[in-house]
A = this chain, B = another copy of it.
Amino acid sequence: MTEENREYRQLPIGVFDSGVGGLTVAREIMRQSPNEKIVYFGDTARVPYGSKSRDTITRYSRQIVRFLQTMEVKAIVVACNTASAYALDDLEKEIDVPLIGVVRPGAKVAAEATKNGRIGVIGTEGTIGSGIYATYIRQIRPDAEVIQKACPLFVPLVEEGLWKDPVTDEIAMRYLTELIDIGIDTLILGCTHYPLIRETVAGIMGDHVRLVNPAYETARELKEMLEERGLSNPVFPSLGANPYRFFVSDGAERFKQFANSILPYGILSAKVINIEEY
Protein backbone atom coordinates (compact mmCIF):
# COMPACT_ATOMS: atom_id res chain seq x y z
CA MET A 1 0.00 0.00 0.00
CA THR A 2 1.50 3.32 -1.06
CA GLU A 3 1.54 6.21 1.35
CA GLU A 4 -0.71 8.22 -0.97
CA ASN A 5 -3.26 5.42 -1.20
CA ARG A 6 -3.15 5.04 2.57
CA GLU A 7 -4.03 8.69 2.97
CA TYR A 8 -6.82 8.50 0.39
CA ARG A 9 -8.34 5.53 2.19
CA GLN A 10 -8.65 7.62 5.34
CA LEU A 11 -10.90 10.17 3.67
CA PRO A 12 -14.48 10.27 4.96
CA ILE A 13 -17.69 8.87 3.46
CA GLY A 14 -20.21 11.54 2.51
CA VAL A 15 -23.78 10.70 3.54
CA PHE A 16 -26.76 12.90 2.75
CA ASP A 17 -30.47 12.99 3.26
CA SER A 18 -33.31 15.49 3.15
CA GLY A 19 -33.09 15.74 6.93
CA VAL A 20 -32.71 13.42 9.88
CA GLY A 21 -33.96 10.18 8.33
CA GLY A 22 -30.61 9.34 6.77
CA LEU A 23 -29.16 9.05 10.25
CA THR A 24 -30.57 5.51 10.31
CA VAL A 25 -28.22 4.79 7.38
CA ALA A 26 -25.30 6.60 9.05
CA ARG A 27 -25.95 4.50 12.16
CA GLU A 28 -25.65 1.29 10.15
CA ILE A 29 -22.41 2.49 8.53
CA MET A 30 -20.99 3.30 11.99
CA ARG A 31 -21.95 -0.18 13.16
CA GLN A 32 -20.77 -2.16 10.13
CA SER A 33 -17.71 -0.07 9.22
CA PRO A 34 -16.41 1.37 12.48
CA ASN A 35 -13.15 2.56 10.90
CA GLU A 36 -14.88 4.89 8.44
CA LYS A 37 -15.19 8.62 9.01
CA ILE A 38 -18.47 10.21 8.02
CA VAL A 39 -19.48 13.68 6.83
CA TYR A 40 -23.26 13.86 7.09
CA PHE A 41 -25.41 16.51 5.47
CA GLY A 42 -29.13 16.87 6.29
CA ASP A 43 -31.07 19.33 4.13
CA THR A 44 -33.25 20.43 7.04
CA ALA A 45 -34.10 23.78 5.43
CA ARG A 46 -35.76 22.11 2.46
CA VAL A 47 -37.08 18.91 4.05
CA PRO A 48 -39.22 16.98 3.15
CA TYR A 49 -38.19 15.73 -0.29
CA GLY A 50 -40.96 13.13 -0.45
CA SER A 51 -43.58 15.43 -1.99
CA LYS A 52 -41.28 17.37 -4.36
CA SER A 53 -40.66 16.95 -8.09
CA ARG A 54 -37.83 15.18 -9.88
CA ASP A 55 -36.35 18.48 -11.14
CA THR A 56 -36.26 20.05 -7.71
CA ILE A 57 -34.82 16.95 -6.02
CA THR A 58 -32.11 16.65 -8.68
CA ARG A 59 -31.14 20.34 -8.31
CA TYR A 60 -30.97 20.00 -4.53
CA SER A 61 -28.97 16.75 -4.69
CA ARG A 62 -26.47 18.30 -7.09
CA GLN A 63 -25.84 21.19 -4.68
CA ILE A 64 -25.29 18.75 -1.82
CA VAL A 65 -22.87 16.59 -3.82
CA ARG A 66 -20.88 19.74 -4.63
CA PHE A 67 -20.74 20.58 -0.93
CA LEU A 68 -19.62 17.05 0.01
CA GLN A 69 -16.90 17.18 -2.64
CA THR A 70 -15.48 20.28 -0.94
CA MET A 71 -15.12 18.04 2.12
CA GLU A 72 -12.97 15.57 0.13
CA VAL A 73 -15.09 12.47 0.50
CA LYS A 74 -13.98 9.18 -1.07
CA ALA A 75 -17.55 7.91 -1.62
CA ILE A 76 -21.08 9.28 -1.30
CA VAL A 77 -24.13 7.51 0.09
CA VAL A 78 -27.46 8.98 -0.99
CA ALA A 79 -29.24 8.08 2.24
CA CYS A 80 -32.60 9.33 1.03
CA ASN A 81 -35.01 7.15 -0.91
CA THR A 82 -36.54 10.04 -2.85
CA ALA A 83 -33.15 11.43 -3.92
CA SER A 84 -31.95 7.91 -4.78
CA ALA A 85 -35.08 7.40 -6.87
CA TYR A 86 -34.92 10.68 -8.76
CA ALA A 87 -31.34 11.93 -8.85
CA LEU A 88 -28.91 9.00 -8.63
CA ASP A 89 -28.70 8.20 -12.36
CA ASP A 90 -27.93 11.82 -13.28
CA LEU A 91 -25.42 12.29 -10.47
CA GLU A 92 -23.51 9.13 -11.36
CA LYS A 93 -22.72 10.58 -14.79
CA GLU A 94 -21.43 13.82 -13.31
CA ILE A 95 -18.93 12.81 -10.62
CA ASP A 96 -15.94 10.56 -10.18
CA VAL A 97 -16.31 9.23 -6.63
CA PRO A 98 -18.48 6.13 -6.21
CA LEU A 99 -22.14 6.77 -5.35
CA ILE A 100 -24.45 4.38 -3.53
CA GLY A 101 -28.17 4.97 -3.17
CA VAL A 102 -30.49 3.23 -0.71
CA VAL A 103 -32.94 1.91 -3.26
CA ARG A 104 -30.91 -0.64 -5.24
CA PRO A 105 -29.53 -2.60 -2.25
CA GLY A 106 -33.00 -2.90 -0.68
CA ALA A 107 -34.60 -3.91 -3.98
CA LYS A 108 -31.93 -6.57 -4.56
CA VAL A 109 -32.38 -8.23 -1.17
CA ALA A 110 -36.18 -8.18 -1.49
CA ALA A 111 -36.07 -9.71 -4.97
CA GLU A 112 -33.86 -12.52 -3.66
CA ALA A 113 -35.78 -13.08 -0.43
CA THR A 114 -39.36 -13.37 -1.68
CA LYS A 115 -40.78 -16.86 -2.06
CA ASN A 116 -44.24 -16.15 -3.46
CA GLY A 117 -43.04 -13.26 -5.65
CA ARG A 118 -45.26 -10.67 -3.97
CA ILE A 119 -43.22 -7.78 -2.61
CA GLY A 120 -44.65 -4.73 -0.85
CA VAL A 121 -42.93 -1.33 -0.82
CA ILE A 122 -43.87 1.51 1.51
CA GLY A 123 -42.39 5.00 1.20
CA THR A 124 -43.07 8.69 0.61
CA GLU A 125 -45.22 9.90 -2.26
CA GLY A 126 -42.07 10.77 -4.25
CA THR A 127 -40.45 7.37 -3.88
CA ILE A 128 -43.66 5.47 -4.57
CA GLY A 129 -44.64 7.76 -7.46
CA SER A 130 -41.27 7.16 -9.12
CA GLY A 131 -41.86 3.40 -9.20
CA ILE A 132 -38.12 2.97 -8.71
CA TYR A 133 -38.25 -0.05 -6.38
CA ALA A 134 -40.47 -1.93 -8.81
CA THR A 135 -38.08 -1.11 -11.66
CA TYR A 136 -35.02 -2.48 -9.82
CA ILE A 137 -36.86 -5.51 -8.45
CA ARG A 138 -38.05 -6.53 -11.93
CA GLN A 139 -34.51 -6.26 -13.30
CA ILE A 140 -33.63 -9.15 -11.00
CA ARG A 141 -36.96 -10.93 -10.88
CA PRO A 142 -39.11 -9.98 -13.87
CA ASP A 143 -42.14 -11.95 -12.69
CA ALA A 144 -42.33 -10.25 -9.29
CA GLU A 145 -45.58 -8.59 -8.32
CA VAL A 146 -44.67 -5.30 -6.60
CA ILE A 147 -47.36 -3.62 -4.53
CA GLN A 148 -46.49 -0.04 -3.67
CA LYS A 149 -48.12 2.13 -1.01
CA ALA A 150 -47.33 5.74 -0.10
CA CYS A 151 -47.53 6.42 3.66
CA PRO A 152 -47.20 10.21 3.98
CA LEU A 153 -48.06 10.41 7.69
CA PHE A 154 -45.30 8.06 8.89
CA VAL A 155 -42.55 10.70 8.70
CA PRO A 156 -44.37 13.37 10.75
CA LEU A 157 -45.44 10.72 13.29
CA VAL A 158 -41.83 9.53 13.69
CA GLU A 159 -40.57 13.11 13.96
CA GLU A 160 -43.19 13.82 16.65
CA GLY A 161 -41.68 10.89 18.59
CA LEU A 162 -44.75 8.64 18.34
CA TRP A 163 -42.67 5.55 17.52
CA LYS A 164 -44.84 3.34 19.70
CA ASP A 165 -48.27 4.84 19.98
CA PRO A 166 -51.89 3.82 19.36
CA VAL A 167 -52.24 6.62 16.78
CA THR A 168 -49.28 5.29 14.80
CA ASP A 169 -50.76 1.77 15.12
CA GLU A 170 -54.08 3.01 13.72
CA ILE A 171 -52.51 4.89 10.78
CA ALA A 172 -50.19 1.96 10.04
CA MET A 173 -53.15 -0.41 10.05
CA ARG A 174 -54.93 1.72 7.44
CA TYR A 175 -51.87 1.95 5.21
CA LEU A 176 -50.88 -1.71 5.47
CA THR A 177 -54.21 -3.54 5.30
CA GLU A 178 -54.21 -3.77 1.51
CA LEU A 179 -50.68 -5.21 1.54
CA ILE A 180 -51.83 -7.91 3.96
CA ASP A 181 -54.89 -8.68 1.85
CA ILE A 182 -52.74 -9.17 -1.24
CA GLY A 183 -50.56 -11.64 0.67
CA ILE A 184 -47.08 -10.17 0.27
CA ASP A 185 -44.27 -12.14 1.93
CA THR A 186 -41.63 -9.38 1.80
CA LEU A 187 -41.95 -5.68 2.66
CA ILE A 188 -39.37 -3.00 1.91
CA LEU A 189 -39.21 -0.14 4.41
CA GLY A 190 -38.63 2.33 1.59
CA CYS A 191 -38.05 5.47 3.65
CA THR A 192 -35.19 6.09 6.02
CA HIS A 193 -37.55 7.06 8.85
CA TYR A 194 -39.38 3.74 8.80
CA PRO A 195 -36.83 1.58 10.64
CA LEU A 196 -37.80 3.63 13.71
CA ILE A 197 -41.35 2.21 13.54
CA ARG A 198 -40.18 -1.21 12.45
CA GLU A 199 -41.81 -2.91 15.44
CA THR A 200 -45.19 -1.35 14.73
CA VAL A 201 -45.02 -2.45 11.10
CA ALA A 202 -43.77 -5.92 12.04
CA GLY A 203 -46.59 -6.33 14.59
CA ILE A 204 -49.21 -5.59 11.93
CA MET A 205 -47.65 -7.59 9.09
CA GLY A 206 -46.94 -10.68 11.20
CA ASP A 207 -44.01 -13.08 11.43
CA HIS A 208 -44.40 -14.57 7.96
CA VAL A 209 -43.59 -11.24 6.23
CA ARG A 210 -39.90 -10.46 5.94
CA LEU A 211 -39.11 -6.78 6.48
CA VAL A 212 -36.23 -5.42 4.38
CA ASN A 213 -34.39 -2.43 5.82
CA PRO A 214 -32.52 -0.64 3.01
CA ALA A 215 -30.38 1.21 5.60
CA TYR A 216 -28.85 -2.09 6.67
CA GLU A 217 -28.42 -3.40 3.11
CA THR A 218 -26.89 -0.11 1.94
CA ALA A 219 -24.28 -0.10 4.70
CA ARG A 220 -23.43 -3.69 3.76
CA GLU A 221 -23.08 -2.81 0.08
CA LEU A 222 -20.91 0.20 0.95
CA LYS A 223 -18.62 -2.00 3.01
CA GLU A 224 -18.27 -4.54 0.20
CA MET A 225 -17.66 -1.83 -2.40
CA LEU A 226 -14.94 -0.19 -0.29
CA GLU A 227 -13.23 -3.54 0.21
CA GLU A 228 -13.41 -4.51 -3.47
CA ARG A 229 -11.96 -1.21 -4.58
CA GLY A 230 -9.29 -1.11 -1.88
CA LEU A 231 -10.83 1.98 -0.33
CA SER A 232 -11.56 0.77 3.22
CA ASN A 233 -9.98 2.81 5.96
CA PRO A 234 -7.32 0.57 7.59
CA VAL A 235 -7.01 2.88 10.60
CA PHE A 236 -9.45 3.02 13.51
CA PRO A 237 -9.97 6.71 14.42
CA SER A 238 -7.68 7.69 17.28
CA LEU A 239 -9.10 8.70 20.64
CA GLY A 240 -10.28 12.30 20.63
CA ALA A 241 -10.29 12.58 16.82
CA ASN A 242 -13.99 13.15 16.09
CA PRO A 243 -14.71 10.88 13.10
CA TYR A 244 -18.30 12.04 12.56
CA ARG A 245 -19.12 15.52 11.34
CA PHE A 246 -22.66 16.79 10.79
CA PHE A 247 -23.87 19.65 8.63
CA VAL A 248 -27.41 20.89 8.08
CA SER A 249 -29.06 23.66 6.12
CA ASP A 250 -31.11 24.84 9.12
CA GLY A 251 -31.98 24.18 12.76
CA ALA A 252 -28.78 22.66 14.17
CA GLU A 253 -30.17 22.30 17.71
CA ARG A 254 -33.28 20.46 16.60
CA PHE A 255 -31.16 18.18 14.44
CA LYS A 256 -28.82 17.42 17.33
CA GLN A 257 -31.74 16.46 19.55
CA PHE A 258 -33.12 14.00 17.02
CA ALA A 259 -29.67 12.64 16.18
CA ASN A 260 -28.92 12.04 19.84
CA SER A 261 -32.12 10.04 20.17
CA ILE A 262 -31.16 7.56 17.45
CA LEU A 263 -27.38 7.42 17.13
CA PRO A 264 -25.21 5.22 19.33
CA TYR A 265 -22.96 8.20 20.17
CA GLY A 266 -24.01 11.66 21.27
CA ILE A 267 -23.14 14.03 18.44
CA LEU A 268 -20.85 16.85 19.39
CA SER A 269 -21.96 19.50 16.96
CA ALA A 270 -23.94 20.18 13.83
CA LYS A 271 -23.00 23.16 11.72
CA VAL A 272 -25.41 25.17 9.59
CA ILE A 273 -24.32 25.95 6.02
CA ASN A 274 -26.12 27.82 3.24
CA ILE A 275 -26.59 24.97 0.76
CA GLU A 276 -28.03 27.28 -1.91
CA GLU A 277 -24.54 28.68 -2.39
CA TYR A 278 -23.17 25.37 -3.72
Interface of A toward B, CB cutoff 8 Å: 44-46, 51-53, 56, 152-153, 155-157, 159-160, 166-167, 170-171, 249-251, 254, 276
Contact = CB atoms under 8 A, between A and B. Distances in A.
A51 B254 contact: yes
Given A167-B171, A170-B170, 16 more contacts: A44-B52, A45-B46, A45-B52, A46-B46, A51-B251, A52-B250, A52-B251, A56-B249, A56-B250, A152-B156, A152-B159, A152-B160, A153-B160, A156-B156, A167-B167, A276-B276
Contacts of A159: 152
Count of chain copies: 2
Contacts of A153: 156-157, 160
B156 A250 contact: no
Nearest to A272: B53
Sorted from nearest, which 10 A-B pairs have the closest CB atoms? A156-B156, A56-B250, A52-B250, A45-B56, A46-B46, A53-B250, A153-B160, A53-B251, A152-B160, A167-B170
A92 B31 CA distance: 51
Contacts of A53: 250-251
Contacts of A157: 153
A246 B114 CA distance: 47
Contacts of A170: 166-167, 170
A253 to B, nearest CB: 9
Considering residues A45, A155, A249, A276, which has the most beta carbons from chain B within 10 angstroms of its beta carbon? A45
16 contacts: A44-B52, A45-B46, A45-B56, A52-B250, A52-B251, A53-B251, A56-B249, A56-B250, A152-B159, A153-B160, A155-B156, A156-B156, A166-B170, A167-B167, A167-B170, A170-B170
Contacts of A52: 44-45, 250-251
A171 B166 CA distance: 10
A53 B250 CA distance: 7
Nearest to A125: B254
A153 B254 CA distance: 16
